[in-house]
Chain A
């Protein structure tokens, strides 16, 4: 049973960067902008966060730096797709590739450097509860913040006027424009906020999860986060659960190996990505369902005049 508790704990930690990045992408996509550059954003933020932690020793400054880096690159992306109306898919891929190369270049001097280990205190008091304490209450603060963020985003989207405006822009920017809302500026705000959250996810990876910088360390988590938004039909709570599911599958294969279960490790490594594909296929079976849930203007350019 203790092993199960440890697996749950590992799942929470592994799912957090997916949840953070996924939440950022969800906000983006609810406004109608599809940011395929998530992987690149997370990489640049990871190196920015690591460098900041290395030079200042403060993890929170590192998260801020990661958010700033993610937000900055997202702002450039936003300018390109919102004002210059470049194709969102192509631009997003370009951002992703740029982020990979740029982070590797900037990070050259940081490979092999160490930063101070982040003490993982967990929740004082609750952490000593047998089983449940081990499973749930011995995490870094960012894990709990991710949960709080989910609640916050859900509240923002469904219970505030600003969230309503954002969602309406995602469904029909023309109508929102006709009503007088500054569609382009709101979209940019959503893109920058989303980029900042992806940035925090990236910084978490390089400062808390594996306190190292190495080229390509995000290892596809940005792409998984993108799939997660579709998997969760653009709802925050489902996204959080989906993030833990994917994190869990990754940790499960290692856990099973360590327990001596005899399945080829290569197959096990494939599992998280296989799960992503299976889930997407299941969801895409019903085109009506997708149309009902997907923001109607997702990926389409918006021309205020036209």
Chain B
């Protein structure tokens, strides 16, 4: 044969030889350290590798910041038994699947995805990695090795409503909402029900911004609500923009997901905070102690995953007493925020008189309660 084919053949042979040698090499290191390790006292088990996937930046001072605080708390409690990494600003969609898959192949044994929109991506990856545990925050799809966890943040929204109802002078509240999913609609409804409990004349206006995190848009939405007469605002978007817009305009608002009291000394009426640390500690312990089971976890004030904090001094004492009473009721399990009769904004009865809502009802909320203006937009 001619010179170039000979060269090609030689190259191929070298490549093949190297490949075989490499395969052979992989098997060797494994048996070698084992005898060495057996000699001293039982070696410390390698730390559990856990990974967190965040939808926003850790510096958002809101939703993702709260998750990261929780992660740090869990590490502080569990010490060197776990080692964690996180990836922030992961867009919901195909990119999320890539990131989760990457983390699973890197040896992480438990992965937390912290946004509703990561559900489908995580579900797909969970099928391919049966040995890895997948945890999805605020989701609903589960599998053998994937479970969901959710804070009852509507409890915080209800408590905020109690304060809002007392502080509003125009009897109009405003809500800057992200996407029309049950979680968000629950929050709008809980806020309104809380306000109506202390002030039956209250109405709520809602503006949908179709994003979890976009401060300029959140500011513009807050502006339009205030232009429309709202003087107390709540949002379920992830930044401090709405609170800061209220401060600039001399109106009131609340912190959401994290303690935002530092951002608006005059406007801040309280923060509905999420304390993810207690859950992350439990979830990691489950994996360490091999007691992990799939399912749904929905924790609120009772389990210490939600709270309503930093009510300022200028809020009248009676409002603060209402909040304290309600909190005690939530912690003891005696207060049901969603208890019949609940009528929606079209007049239809959604919950019969005296019936307390169960998790199934809560997960299927697709309406506004009476007192919220407008219609629920369709689509996600």
Q: Which residues of A approach B to under 8 Å, CB–CB?
A: 3, 6-7, 10, 14, 108, 110-114, 117, 120, 205, 209-212, 214-215, 217, 219, 250-251, 254-255, 257-260, 262, 264-266, 269
- The docked-state distance in angstroms from the alpha carbon of A111 to that of B238 is 13
* Nearest Cβ on chain A to B214's Cβ, whole angstroms: 7
| Complex Cα spacing A266 to B228, Å | 20
Given known pairs A112-B65, A260-B374, the reply for A10 and B227 (CB within 8 Å) is: yes
Sample (21) of A-B pairs whose CB atoms are under 8 Å apart: A14-B220, A111-B60, A114-B244, A210-B215, A210-B241, A211-B244, A214-B57, A214-B60, A214-B215, A214-B239, A219-B217, A254-B221, A255-B227, A257-B206, A257-B207, A258-B174, A258-B224, A259-B228, A260-B373, A265-B210, A265-B377
Residues of B within 8 A of A258 (CB): 174, 205, 207, 221, 224-225, 227-228, 230
A112 near B377 with CB under 8 A, answer no
Assembled-state Cα–Cα distance A28/B352 (Å): 66
**CA–CA, A111 to B174, complex, Å?**
26
Interface residues of B in 225-265 (CB under 8 A from A): 225, 227-228, 230, 239-241, 244, 247-248, 262-263
**CB atoms of A10 and B239 under 8 A apart:** no
* Chain A hits for B209, CB < 8 A: 265
Q: Which of B61, B65, B213, B219 contacts A210 (CB 8 A)?
A: B219
If A114-B263, A257-B221 are given as contacts, then 7 extra A-B residue pairs at C-beta distance below 8 Å, sorted by A number, are A3-B228, A10-B223, A112-B60, A114-B240, A117-B244, A215-B89, A258-B205
A257 touches which of B61, B89, B224, B262 (Cβ 8 Å):
B224
Smallest CB separation, B86 vs chain A (Å): 14
Interface residue? B45 (CB, 8 A) = no
Which residues of A have CB within 8 Å of B220? 10, 14, 250-251, 254
| B107 interface hit (Cβ, 8 Å) | no
Q: Does B216 contact A (CB under 8 A)?
A: yes
What residues of A have a CB within 8 angstroms of the CB of B57 in the complex? 108, 111-112, 214-215
Known contacts A212-B244, A257-B224; decide if A205 and B216 are in contact (CB<8 Å): yes
Report if A255-B224 is in contact (Cβ < 8 Å); known contacts: A111-B59, A112-B60, A210-B241.
yes
B5 an interface residue at 8 Å Cβ cutoff?
no
A117 to B246, CA, bound (A): 12
Question: Which chain B positions have C-beta within 8 A of A255?
Answer: 224, 227-228
- Check A209/B216 contact, CB under 8 A, given A10-B227, A251-B224, A254-B221: yes
Q: Which residues of B are found within 8 Å of A259, using beta-carbon distances?
A: 228
**Nearest Cβ distance between residue A18 and chain B, in whole angstroms?**
13
